[in-house]
Amino acid sequence: MRLKSQYIFVIVVATTVVLFFVVRGLFGAGHATDPAQAKATAPGNGVPSVQARLVPETVREYQVVLRGRTQATRTVQVKSETAGLVAATPILQGSVVRGGTVLCRLAVDARQAALDQARATQKSRQLQQQAAAELARRGFRSPTQMLEAQAGLDVATANVRSAEIALRQLDIRAPFTGVFDHRDAELGTYLAAGQPCGTVIELDPLLIVGDVPETDAAKLRVGAPATAKLVAGGPALSGKVRYVASDADPSTRTYHLEIVSPNPRLAVRSGLSAEVRIAAGSGPAHQVPVSALVLDSAGRQGVRYVQADNRVAFAPVRILEETPDGVWVAGLTGPVRLIIVGQSYVADGQKVRVAMAR
């Protein structure tokens, strides 16, 4: 019985595959396939070989890095103290204004007449008081009549001050130097007492605000220097911490932070995102390659190094800063022989052969 050609082809392929695995098992089982694992295996005695680098300890400034945003130091909605129609809006929205600048002016109406009447009454009361004083000096007025004349003058004087204040309240002024950021009342708008003319914001100095994780809050202090790099570009800001909250946000477990920075030309606006770096003291640090970082069985991030007896040890570390040359970490003490090749194939306490890298 002759086999079909397709059966013969299948038998040949199957035989070839079986022979490949048999030969590979006989002659290739002793060869390492992973270059890193091959480098971590010693040429003899089954002792792993690793490559290490001597990393010195350096005193480095610690920094807390967080994402923040710029914010106006003060934002005030300027409101009317009296009622009236808006008769003038001399300042354009978005203009820089000095403290005391008139933002909205209400119609005078009868207020000037009320002031004129109060001043006339005051003058009349003043003449009456002077006459009463002269008559009292000659003995034609009693002390009681003299006091009544003086009281009438005092009331008239108070009425003049009240009318002057009512007239001044027609001018709604900026409370401080800043930017007239938003107008709420236009020409002809009727404002009741307490209704807004517009909003003024203070941008010099400028605030940089953010939220600090609970792991970093204890490292910060009021007065610590800080820098901020705007995400959108522009000039870098520098300032000092003026406030760190003592109570955490219950939903995020973070602490609110405020940094005050000079902004004399008002070049930086409110609401811009920034990368903030705050000085948090100094201490020992080591610069290690990113590739040297490993995780232990508990999931902690750290590095493996070689002790004096050539046994491997693991040290958990905290990343302080990432740079193009590696990462700065805290958690190591003194100069260490850091394993840079083979660290993933050795265990804590294992004895190794060490080849020092330059």
Within its chain, how far is the Cα of 346 from the centroid? 42
Is 57 in contact with 333 (CB distance < 8 Å)?
yes
Residues 213 and 148 in one domain: no
pLDDT of residue 209: 97
Flag the least confident range among 5-19, 112-126, 132-146, 196-210: 5-19
Residues 274 and 329 in one domain: no
- Structural domain harbouring 124: 108-169
Mean pLDDT of the chain: 88
Q: What is the pLDDT of residues 311-341, one digit of tens each?
A: 999 999 988 888 889 999 999 999 999 999 9
User: Above 50 in pLDDT, residue 31?
Assistant: no
Q: What is the 3-state secondary structure (H, E, C) of the chain?
A: CCCCHHHHHHHHHHHHHHHHHHHHHHHCCCCCCCHHHHHCCCCCCCCCEEEEEEECCEEEEEEEEEEEEEEEEEEEEEECCCCEEEEECCCCCCCEECCCCEEEEECCCCHHHHHHHHHHHHHHHHHHHHHHHHHHHHCCCCHHHHHHHHHHHHHHHHHHHHHHHHHHCCEEECCCCEEEEEECCCCCCEECCCCEEEEEEEEEEEEEEEEEEHHHHCCCCCCCEEEEEECCCCCCEEEEEEEECCCCCCCCCEEEEEEEECCCCCCCCCCCEEEEEEEEEEEEEEEECHHHCEECCCCCEEEEEECCCCEEEEEECEEEEEECCEEEEECCCCCEEEEEECHHHCCCCCECEEEECC
pLDDT of residue 227: 95
Residue 133's nearest CA partner among 121, 122, 120, 147 is: 147
Is 266 in contact with 96 (CB distance < 8 Å)?
yes
What's 153's domain CATH number? Answer: 1.10.287
Higher pLDDT, 8 or 60: 60
Is 227 in contact with 210 (CB distance < 8 Å)?
no
pLDDT of residue 234: 83
pLDDT band at 155 (very low <50, low <70, confident <90, very high): very high
Q: What is the pLDDT of residues 277-303, one digit of tens each?
A: 999 888 899 999 999 999 998 999 999
pLDDT of residue 108: 93
pLDDT of residue 32: 41
Question: Terminus-to-terminus CA distance in the chain, angstroms?
Answer: 72
User: Above 80 in pLDDT, residue 154?
Assistant: yes
Q: What percent of the chain has pLDDT over 70?
A: 88
Please calculate the CA angle 177-178-184 and round it to the nearest 5 degrees: 115
What's 208's domain CATH number? Answer: 2.40.30.170
**Is residue 185 domain-resident?**
no
User: Above 50 in pLDDT, residue 153?
Assistant: yes
Last residue of a domain, one of 280, 313, 339: 280
Residues 137 and 274 in one domain: no
Residues 247 and 228 in one domain: yes
pLDDT of residue 21: 67
Mean pLDDT, rounded, for 180-190: 95
Last residue of a domain, one of 280, 302, 334: 280
Q: What percent of the chain has pLDDT over 90?
A: 72
Residues 207 and 274 in one domain: yes
Residues in the chain: 358
Residues 286 and 293: their CA atoms lie apart, in Å, by 12
Q: What is the pLDDT of residues 187-246, one digit of tens each?
A: 999 999 999 999 999 999 999 999 999 988 988 999 999 999 999 888 899 999 999 999
Q: What is the pLDDT of residues 39-49, one digit of tens each?
A: 444 444 578 99
What's 329's domain CATH number? Answer: 2.40.420.20
Residues 265 and 305 in one domain: no
Is 171 in contact with 102 (CB distance < 8 Å)?
yes
Domain count, the chain: 3
pLDDT of residue 12: 61
Q: What is the pLDDT of residues 40-95, one digit of tens each?
A: 444 445 789 999 999 999 998 888 889 999 999 999 999 999 999 999 999 999 99
Mean pLDDT, rounded, for 93-101: 95
Residues 240 and 259: their CA atoms lie apart, in Å, by 5
